[in-house]
Structure 1
Amino acid sequence: MGLFKMGLFVVLSIITSSAFAAVFTFTAIPDENESQLRTRFEKVATYLETELGVEVKYIPVKSYSAAVTAFRNNQVQLAWFGGLSGVQARRLVPGSEAIAQGDEDQFFQSYFIAHESAQIFPSDSFPNLNGLTFTFGAKGSTSGRLMPEFFIERNLGKKAKDVFKRIGFSGDHSRTIIQVQSGAYQVGAVNYKVWETAVEKGRVDLNKVSVIWRSPTYPDYQWTVREGVNDIFGKNFKQRLTEALLGMDDPALLASFPRRSFVPADNLDYEPIENVAKAVGLID
């Protein structure tokens, strides 16, 4: 082979190899507004790219169900799921694993919040919500729908549809706060982390809306990796990914979640969520 042809062959080989190099993709449930999520997870993509030595891309989705579908269809290989969406995804893709969770996610909570006009005051006892208007978050949310629905049924002895005069689904926790604060709904259920961050940043008028009940703790958010990533990205890739997530210690990056740190997780941690989802009829 002549030098020219050999050089051309090498160049074409490099171009072809680059064009078909696998890109590691991930997504996250849209539990807050899109701009906040994009800022957070594009930083995560940069971090993982440095740690793993592969191209990493964050793919935003419009709904919790879209995150699960993207995972099922192998459009993403990693996802930041809530408890329920993680259970749903792993049931659809056997062999997939929860590998890391925020330290706080081991002991997560839902807050029930109320507009001042509802005249419901903070208490350790579950409030009487009969006849009020109520908004959940997204239909697939653990902290904004699944667990609140479970606590309503357990404490009031009847289905949510039989408790409230009107029920809504805001779509995400930030909008739940906005809707209750405006009086569009008298009461709502939110992720405690989103509430506390919103209060800290001055986004909540505490003269109009306040926390009236804090739930018992339960496991929630986690990073779930799709089965087969080692076949695509190389031996021990899943282990390296796990170590990268657990080793995420940049204060600014952790604050964007917000989490103190990430700790190990496995599928068994989320059996309580699966059992509750079956009990309230959200999964078979």
Structure 2
Amino acid sequence: MAAALAGCGDRRSPVGPAPSGALSVGAIPDQDPEVLARLYGTVADAMSAALDLEVVYRPVTDYAAAVSLFRTGDLDLVWFGGLTGVQARLQTPGAVPVAQRDVDAAFHSVFVVDAATGLAPADDLRALAPLRFTYGSETSTSGRLMPAWFLRRAGVDPQGFPGGPGFSGSHDATLALVGSGSYQAGVLNEQVWAARTADGSVAPSVVEYARTPAYHDYHWLLGPAAVDRLGADLPDRVRSWLLGLPPGDEVLELFGAGSFLPTDASAYDQIEAIGRELGLIT
């Protein structure tokens, strides 16, 4: 991956109204900013070449900013998690879910613990209740929403951890906090866990404890302002490019996917219902 990323163009740009002929692409900041800049620089280059249109990646500081800037039209096409995608769509009439990865139809969160807790892998989430615990971002689907819901179903108060739960801000930060001993346990995106385990960057003291059942998660959401500027066929053009990426394509590799698949708003009905139940969607 490092070799592929090193050659990508720098298409980062300060967030603001997009030039009339350009498509501004964003993403929730769920990983290290340098990783995201390289990933979406590659995506912007590939999309620009395929669609014959200027595509610019615009990084944001937090999950809420991604939703807000999508609503105002400063970001046109955003890679959202399930919850932020629902929030953005509900706040932006005319927004269109374009595609999800093959893995997003059955995504999971991973609960990790400090090995010093003595916990062995298990399905009983009640063992986490007495531990100092951190989520990721407050509006992360895999790092907060779904883990909190599954904890509640297991009889654990998702806000009742000693001293209250932490909110690290990203999956990488969660791993760092558990690895440093600042927290005894945390939860994160299964793909980030797999990638960091594979590259050896996870502290030896951090071990997997449990996984959640499956749920729908990440997807591309396209805003109506971009369609107004760039043409009514834009959703089909973007979707066709994503769905047509061949196996092994660099973009698919960077997204940890075998393919992109069509999706629609109904795929995130469960996310919306749980978000309302937990007070994260009003």
Q: Contact 1:132–1:165 at 8 Å: present in 2 too?
A: no
Preserved CA contact (<8 Å) 1:127 1:213: no
Q: Does 1:37 align with 2:33?
A: no
Aligned counterpart, 1:259: 257
Change beyond 3 A, Cα 1:155–1:164: farther
CA distance in 2, matches of 1:105, 1:242: 16
Shift of 1:161: 2.4
Contact 2:73 2:225 in 1 (8 A): no
Separation in 1 of the partners of 2:135 and 2:161?
13
Listed as ranges, the gaps of 5+ residues in structure 2 are 1-17
Contact persistence 2:171–2:189 (CA under 8 A): yes
Q: How many angstroms does 1:228 deviate by?
A: 4.4
Match of 1:189 in 2: 187
**Number of the residue aligned with 2:237:** 240
**Structure 2 CA distance for partners of 1:256 and 1:246, relative to 1, 3 Å:** same
Q: How does 1:210-225 map to 2 (within 5 A)?
A: 210-225=207-222
Structure 2 letter corresponding to 1:189: V
CA distance in 2, matches of 1:113, 1:101: 26
Q: Which amino acid aligns with 1:215?
A: T
Q: What displacement does 1:21 show?
A: 4.5
Alpha-carbon distance in 1 for matches of 2:220, 2:115: 37
Looking at structure 1, the residues matched to 111 and 252 of structure 2 have their Cα atoms a distance apart, in angstroms, of: 26
Q: Is the 8 A contact 1:129 1:164 kept in 2?
A: no
Q: Deviations over 1:112-147 (max 9, x none)?
A: 000011121101333422221000001110000101
CA distance in 2, matches of 1:164, 1:153: 16
**What fraction of aligned residue pairs are identical, expressed as a percent?**
38
Partner of 1:55: 54
Structure 2 counterpart SS, 1:224 = strand
After superposing the two structures, state which structure 1 stretch, 167-176 or 148-157, moved more: 148-157
Secondary structure class of the residue paired with 2:220: strand
In the alignment, the residues of structure 1 paired with residue 84 and residue 227 of structure 2 have an alpha-carbon distance, to the nearest angstrom, of 23
Cα separation, 2, equivalents of 1:99 and 1:167: 34
Matched, 1:203 2:201: yes
Q: String of CA shifts for 1:139-170, please: whole Å, max 9, x gaps.
A: 1100001011111111125x322243442111
2:269 aligns with 271
Q: Deviation at 1:205? A: 3.1
The TM-score, its normalising length taken from structure 2, stands at: 0.90
4+ residue runs of structure 1 moved beyond 3 angstroms? 163-166
Instruction: Please give the secondary structure, in 1, of the residue aligned with 2:154.
Output: helix
- 8 Å contact kept, 2:95–2:224: yes
Q: CA deviation at 1:244?
A: 1.1
**Match of 2:53, SS?**
coil
Task: Give 1 or 2 for the bigger CA radius of gyration.
Answer: 1
Per-residue deviation at 1:46? 0.7
- Measured in 2, the distance between the counterparts of 1:252 and 1:46 equals 11
Q: Secondary structure at the match of 1:210?
A: strand
Give RMSD over aligned pairs: 1.6
Q: Secondary structure at the match of 1:71?
A: helix
The correspondence of residues 119-138 of structure 1 with structure 2, limited to 5 A, is 119-138=118-137
Name the stretch that deviates more: 167-176 or 120-129.
Answer: 120-129
The aligned amino acid for 1:126 is L
Q: Structure 1 length as normaliser, TM-score?
A: 0.89
Q: Secondary structure at the match of 2:165?
A: strand
Instruction: Say which SS state the counterpart of residue 101 (structure 1) adopts.
Output: strand
Gap change, CA 1:98 and 1:235, over 3 Å in 2: closer
* Alignment match, 1:8: none
Match of 1:113 in 2: 112
SS at structure 2 position matched to 1:161 = coil
Partner of 2:169: 171
Please report how far the alpha carbon of residue 265 of structure 1 lies from its aligned counterpart in structure 2 after TM superposition. 0.7
Aligned match of 1:15: none
Mind listing any 5+ residue stretches in structure 1 that lack a counterpart?
A: 1-18
Give the deviation of 1:20 after TM superposition: 6.2
Q: Quick one: which amino acid aligns to residue 160 of structure 2?
A: D
Q: Distance in 2 between matches of 1:163 and 1:180?
A: 15
Partner secondary structure for residue 47 of structure 2: helix
Given that 1:136 and 1:168 are in contact with CA atoms closer than 8 Å, whether structure 2 keeps it comes out as: yes
Q: Is 262-271 or 123-132 further displaced after alignment?
A: 123-132
